Amino acid sequence: MFTIGDHIIYSAHGLCRINDIRDETVSGVTKKYYKLHPLENTLVTISTPVDNDKVVMLKLLQKEQALEIIEIFKQPGAESDSQSNSKPLPSKNINTGDRMQIAEVVNTLMRKKFDTQLQKEAFYAHDYKLLNNTQIILFKELAHALDTSFEEINKMINDLITEEQPLTIG
Protein backbone atom coordinates (compact mmCIF):
# COMPACT_ATOMS: atom_id res chain seq x y z
CA MET A 1 0.00 0.00 0.00
CA PHE A 2 1.18 3.46 -0.84
CA THR A 3 1.12 6.41 1.54
CA ILE A 4 0.08 10.05 1.27
CA GLY A 5 2.78 12.02 -0.52
CA ASP A 6 4.10 9.10 -2.56
CA HIS A 7 4.82 9.69 -6.23
CA ILE A 8 3.72 6.80 -8.42
CA ILE A 9 3.03 5.77 -11.99
CA TYR A 10 -0.70 5.32 -12.50
CA SER A 11 -1.82 3.56 -15.70
CA ALA A 12 -2.34 5.96 -18.59
CA HIS A 13 -2.07 9.07 -16.42
CA GLY A 14 1.63 8.66 -15.75
CA LEU A 15 3.31 10.43 -12.85
CA CYS A 16 0.91 11.13 -10.00
CA ARG A 17 1.08 12.15 -6.37
CA ILE A 18 -1.09 10.52 -3.73
CA ASN A 19 -2.71 13.44 -1.95
CA ASP A 20 -5.08 11.51 0.29
CA ILE A 21 -6.26 8.05 1.31
CA ARG A 22 -9.76 7.94 2.72
CA ASP A 23 -12.86 5.85 3.10
CA GLU A 24 -15.59 6.49 0.57
CA THR A 25 -18.97 4.89 0.12
CA VAL A 26 -19.99 4.12 -3.46
CA SER A 27 -23.23 2.23 -4.16
CA GLY A 28 -23.52 1.36 -0.49
CA VAL A 29 -20.03 -0.17 -0.29
CA THR A 30 -17.35 1.55 1.80
CA LYS A 31 -13.74 1.14 0.68
CA LYS A 32 -10.42 2.93 1.03
CA TYR A 33 -9.63 5.14 -1.97
CA TYR A 34 -6.47 6.84 -3.18
CA LYS A 35 -6.90 10.46 -4.25
CA LEU A 36 -4.33 11.08 -6.96
CA HIS A 37 -3.24 14.17 -8.85
CA PRO A 38 -1.25 13.88 -12.07
CA LEU A 39 1.90 15.98 -11.68
CA GLU A 40 1.30 17.74 -14.96
CA ASN A 41 -2.35 18.53 -14.35
CA THR A 42 -3.13 19.30 -10.72
CA LEU A 43 -6.68 20.33 -11.70
CA VAL A 44 -7.48 16.65 -12.30
CA THR A 45 -8.28 14.39 -9.35
CA ILE A 46 -8.27 10.64 -9.78
CA SER A 47 -10.08 8.49 -7.26
CA THR A 48 -9.35 4.76 -7.28
CA PRO A 49 -9.94 2.03 -4.74
CA VAL A 50 -6.81 0.91 -2.90
CA ASP A 51 -7.62 -2.68 -3.87
CA ASN A 52 -8.25 -1.90 -7.56
CA ASP A 53 -6.55 -4.66 -9.53
CA LYS A 54 -7.67 -3.35 -12.93
CA VAL A 55 -5.09 -0.58 -13.05
CA VAL A 56 -1.34 -0.55 -12.68
CA MET A 57 0.11 1.54 -9.86
CA LEU A 58 3.87 1.43 -9.46
CA LYS A 59 6.52 2.99 -7.27
CA LEU A 60 8.78 5.30 -9.26
CA LEU A 61 12.07 4.10 -10.63
CA GLN A 62 15.28 4.73 -8.76
CA LYS A 63 18.29 6.25 -10.56
CA GLU A 64 20.08 2.88 -10.94
CA GLN A 65 16.97 1.28 -12.46
CA ALA A 66 16.54 4.20 -14.86
CA LEU A 67 20.15 3.84 -16.05
CA GLU A 68 19.59 0.09 -16.66
CA ILE A 69 16.49 0.87 -18.72
CA ILE A 70 18.36 3.37 -20.89
CA GLU A 71 20.84 0.58 -21.74
CA ILE A 72 17.99 -1.24 -23.53
CA PHE A 73 17.94 1.53 -26.15
CA LYS A 74 21.49 0.59 -27.16
CA GLN A 75 20.22 -2.82 -28.28
CA PRO A 76 18.45 -3.68 -31.54
CA GLY A 77 14.68 -3.86 -31.20
CA ALA A 78 12.79 -7.12 -30.86
CA GLU A 79 11.66 -8.83 -34.02
CA SER A 80 8.05 -8.10 -34.85
CA ASP A 81 5.59 -9.68 -37.20
CA SER A 82 6.30 -8.14 -40.58
CA GLN A 83 2.83 -8.63 -42.02
CA SER A 84 1.23 -5.32 -42.93
CA ASN A 85 -1.10 -3.81 -40.36
CA SER A 86 -0.20 -6.45 -37.78
CA LYS A 87 0.37 -5.44 -34.20
CA PRO A 88 3.95 -5.55 -33.02
CA LEU A 89 4.75 -8.60 -30.94
CA PRO A 90 5.36 -6.96 -27.57
CA SER A 91 2.27 -4.76 -27.11
CA LYS A 92 0.90 -7.10 -24.45
CA ASN A 93 4.02 -6.37 -22.38
CA ILE A 94 2.89 -2.80 -21.78
CA ASN A 95 0.26 -3.82 -19.24
CA THR A 96 2.66 -5.84 -17.09
CA GLY A 97 4.15 -2.78 -15.42
CA ASP A 98 7.64 -4.23 -16.00
CA ARG A 99 9.61 -1.19 -17.15
CA MET A 100 12.28 -3.35 -18.83
CA GLN A 101 9.61 -4.97 -21.02
CA ILE A 102 7.98 -1.60 -21.62
CA ALA A 103 11.34 -0.14 -22.67
CA GLU A 104 11.85 -3.06 -25.06
CA VAL A 105 8.48 -2.26 -26.67
CA VAL A 106 9.33 1.44 -26.94
CA ASN A 107 12.79 0.64 -28.33
CA THR A 108 11.34 -1.71 -30.94
CA LEU A 109 8.66 0.76 -32.02
CA MET A 110 11.04 3.73 -32.12
CA ARG A 111 13.42 1.76 -34.33
CA LYS A 112 10.52 0.61 -36.51
CA LYS A 113 9.30 4.20 -36.86
CA PHE A 114 12.78 5.44 -37.75
CA ASP A 115 13.23 2.65 -40.29
CA THR A 116 9.86 3.30 -41.92
CA GLN A 117 10.78 6.98 -42.25
CA LEU A 118 14.09 6.08 -43.90
CA GLN A 119 12.33 3.69 -46.27
CA LYS A 120 9.53 6.23 -46.89
CA GLU A 121 6.96 3.68 -45.77
CA ALA A 122 3.92 4.04 -43.54
CA PHE A 123 4.18 3.74 -39.78
CA TYR A 124 0.83 2.26 -38.82
CA ALA A 125 -1.58 4.19 -36.62
CA HIS A 126 -1.84 1.50 -33.95
CA ASP A 127 1.98 1.42 -33.68
CA TYR A 128 2.12 5.21 -33.48
CA LYS A 129 -0.54 5.38 -30.77
CA LEU A 130 1.09 2.65 -28.68
CA LEU A 131 4.52 4.25 -29.06
CA ASN A 132 3.35 7.77 -28.32
CA ASN A 133 1.37 6.94 -25.17
CA THR A 134 3.96 4.57 -23.74
CA GLN A 135 7.03 6.61 -24.65
CA ILE A 136 5.73 9.74 -22.95
CA ILE A 137 5.03 8.00 -19.65
CA LEU A 138 8.31 6.05 -19.66
CA PHE A 139 10.48 9.02 -20.63
CA LYS A 140 8.86 11.28 -18.02
CA GLU A 141 9.52 8.67 -15.37
CA LEU A 142 13.13 8.29 -16.53
CA ALA A 143 13.53 12.07 -16.43
CA HIS A 144 12.14 12.19 -12.90
CA ALA A 145 14.47 9.39 -11.71
CA LEU A 146 17.51 11.02 -13.33
CA ASP A 147 16.58 14.57 -12.29
CA THR A 148 16.49 15.88 -15.83
CA SER A 149 13.85 16.88 -18.36
CA PHE A 150 11.66 14.83 -20.67
CA GLU A 151 13.27 16.65 -23.60
CA GLU A 152 16.78 15.59 -22.52
CA ILE A 153 15.75 11.93 -22.14
CA ASN A 154 13.94 12.04 -25.49
CA LYS A 155 17.00 13.50 -27.23
CA MET A 156 19.41 11.06 -25.58
CA ILE A 157 17.36 8.00 -26.52
CA ASN A 158 16.66 9.25 -30.06
CA ASP A 159 20.41 9.77 -30.48
CA LEU A 160 21.08 6.21 -29.28
CA ILE A 161 18.60 4.82 -31.79
CA THR A 162 19.50 6.93 -34.81
CA GLU A 163 23.30 6.73 -34.46
CA GLU A 164 23.27 2.94 -34.85
CA GLN A 165 21.11 2.89 -37.98
CA PRO A 166 22.97 2.33 -41.25
CA LEU A 167 22.49 4.96 -43.92
CA THR A 168 20.56 3.78 -46.92
CA ILE A 169 21.26 5.25 -50.31
CA GLY A 170 18.74 5.10 -53.02
Residues 6+ apart with CB under 8 A from 69: 61, 99, 100, 103, 138, 142
All domains of the chain in start order, with CATH: 7-59 (2.40.10), 63-163 (1.20.58.1290)
pTM (two decimals): 0.79
pLDDT in tens, 55-114: 778 888 999 999 999 999 999 877 654 444 444 445 666 767 789 999 999 999 999 999
Whether the Cβ atoms of residue 106 and residue 100 lie closer than 8 Å to each other: no
Cα–Cα distances in Å, from 35 out to 9, 21, 41, 43, 102?
13, 6, 14, 12, 26
pLDDT in tens, 103-122: 999 999 999 999 998 899 98
